[in-house]
Structure 1
Amino acid sequence: MPTNNVFLLFCAVLLVLGGVAFTLSRAKAARVRATGMTMHAQPDQYAWFAVLATAGPALLVSALGAFALLLMGAEIPTIYLLTASLIIAVIGLVMGLNQVRPDFHARRAIEGVIRKLLAAAAMISILTTLGILLSIITEALRFFQMHSFWDFVTGTTWNPGASFLDAAGRGDEGGSAAQFGSIPLFAGTFMITLIAMLVAIPFGLGAAIYMVEFAPLRIRKAAKPVIEVLAGIPTVVYGVFAALTVAPLVVDIAGLFGLDASYSNALAPGLVMGIMIIPFISSLSDDVINSVPNSLREGALALGITKAEMVRNVVVPAAAPGIISASLLAVSRALGETMIVVMAAGMRPNLTANPLEDMTTVTVSIVAALTGDQEFESAQTLSAFALGLVLFIVTLTLNVVSVFMIRRFREKYRVNNL
């Protein structure tokens, strides 16, 4: 029998066993309860516990078997694995029925299973992050064995050149000319991010303040979803808009002032990226401003100041930690953007302070290093992991700072919200 049919049969049988467990356990619990005995849970709770006892171990065994088959290369016939899982399901059904008794806390047992599932989900997230970090560090150390770490973080020229020749044993043909100074890449990254934040923070914060403090309810209901639609537009669409519309517009406006601007300039992707991040800052700032206690607003207005003065002198300072944390999270989002930059700013590492020139970012260079035809052992490929490690540290620092500021905001107003 084909594997797909076997799997469908397994799911059908397991579903039937779960239904039987639910029906029999609920009926047994109802009979015990009808005798007048005090039970620690409702019949439905005993029934759902029996379902968990039936399906849970069977699915766990199937998942472990699949893990052994796919990742460890074990040779386990599929039919045997699924049959063993069904046998375990039957054993679990019998044990679940035996637990239907007055002294068993079915509700607590179900809650314990749910807590363990949630803890497992959290551990998967943590372990995934650690795995990513470990893989990046391992390959980055291989790169730093080829090139100096100091030259990497202080060098002003990014020119991998023919570094792949080193891996092929032909370094005397030009591989030694490779230069891996990351400052132009990070300068371009921070330049475009700064432009994006100069657009996103004023407009995003202004939209949040208007929505919370000034907008009528009907306008808020209509405008808020429209603003948040910006977050659902694919970044490649933003990249096309930046390359075909904003970049030529920047060139034309610069020409009016007698300035030379490249069609692959840093200003265009920065502006478009800022537009893309507006709903991110607006949504987070909206929640933070809404969390400011109304007692502060009412006290300020009772002193006779205008609503605008109340917002400027009371609400915004009170919400400042949350607004700053939202801005830092938006910076992390901007640092990792790739598509808009590669389509509108180009791929040339250019150390300049002029946003009208072309430049590139760290993420674009990572993509370029990993998608070429060079050997994986070459310094050019491994440099992507070194760039990723530094970018990971930068974004991690911003996220940690934002978390601390959010905690500070919550602690500051915890008493007022009670």
Structure 2
Amino acid sequence: MSDLYARHRAVLPDWLALYYADPIELTHGEGRYVWGADGTRYLDFFGGILTTMTAHALPEVTKAVSEQAGRIIHSSTLYLDRPMIDLAERVASLSGIPDARVFFTTSGTEANDAALLLATTYRRSNQILAMRNSYHGRSFSAVGITGNRGWSPTSLSPLQTLYVHGGVRTRGPYAHLSDAEFTAACVADLEDLLGQVRGGVAALIAEPIQGVGGFTAPPDGLYAAFREVLDRHGILWITDEVQTGWGRTGDHFWGWQAHGESGPPDLLTFAKGIGNGMSIGGVVARAEVMNCLDANSISTFGGSPVTMAAGLANLTYLLEHDLQGNARRVGGLLIERLRAVAAQIPGVREVRGRGLMIGVELVKPGTDEADPDAATAVLEAARAGGLLIGKGGGHNTSVLRLAPPLSLTVAEAEEGAGILEQALRGL
């Protein structure tokens, strides 16, 4: 065991997860590659949990951070903050939400906390609809709406949470149905659930594609069908775009747009990729919802001039270089390449995803039983081959998660697929 690993175990919590039997210290990165402390180069297909969105050491971002740090690093929201206002204008315009207001935080967890505060205050109810197998963060309130047992350490919560079917298409009681029948069954389940509730429900919070849950998704249009029911009851729709936002899915800039027939959500949360590694999160809501709080509030670190400068530079680069289009093109090629490999490997149940958000679900051959040991083995084998990936998927963590920076090239996609193929063939 390395000295650094021993120090980590001596001073940090036991529940602070580390990948690999022999954990890696990453010292630097460039483009889609990172280097370990021992000099080993790795192709990065996880981006610090979908956070290095454009590229490691992107010159435009590092320059913006350096220049802003040379002027002023911190002021808080008690003062006018030009970079924060600049980025808020861009995000509000891109969100699709009319008369939008933006509140910046330092993480996706905090963004979802803020959205829950707004929704419950606006609706004067602490009842929340959430999706089974969902994940929304590690705070007390976010854990209370997390439908994934592996990431929910307590049943205590300030919220009354009601869990709805629909986030997982290929498992559960409706998996055998067609897409249209699946959607109709989930809508009927939602209607039935609301018929059992006393008082009003504040909001439905949902990830368009469940991240920690293993990159699972419902049929397109499910949340639009839910929205018709929600609107009849006055229930708000919160879309958690922490992992799906900024064009990662390729087909759309936001994940909600695959379900957008009935218009934009009432609230949208974001984080991770917008800062390309800097700590940025936030919530967008129409003005009447955002402004419903009647107590003072500030954010000490949300909207920091340095992180806002990074976000502006990163967003500008992403839009000017059409990284959404690149995610669609390169991601489509990568998915098809992996599906061809999976067809030859009995332990692969499914390759699914959209753009550069791809899940490879592993099972014990000949069964539908999740195989978390196989996922761990492939994670290790991929690392040995020079590829970093993630894992997730319910409480069994049997899904390999691939989410490289959106600037991934075709050659790098093929390189990563080749390494992963060899790791999977070793099962």
Which TM class, normalised by the smaller chain length?
under 0.3
Task: Please give the TM-score of this superposition, normalised by the length of structure 2.
Answer: 0.20
Higher strand share: 2
> Which structure is larger by alpha-carbon Rg, 1 or 2?
1
Higher relative contact order (CA 8 A, sep 6+): 2
Task: Please give the TM-score of this superposition, normalised by the length of structure 1.
Answer: 0.20
Higher helix share: 1
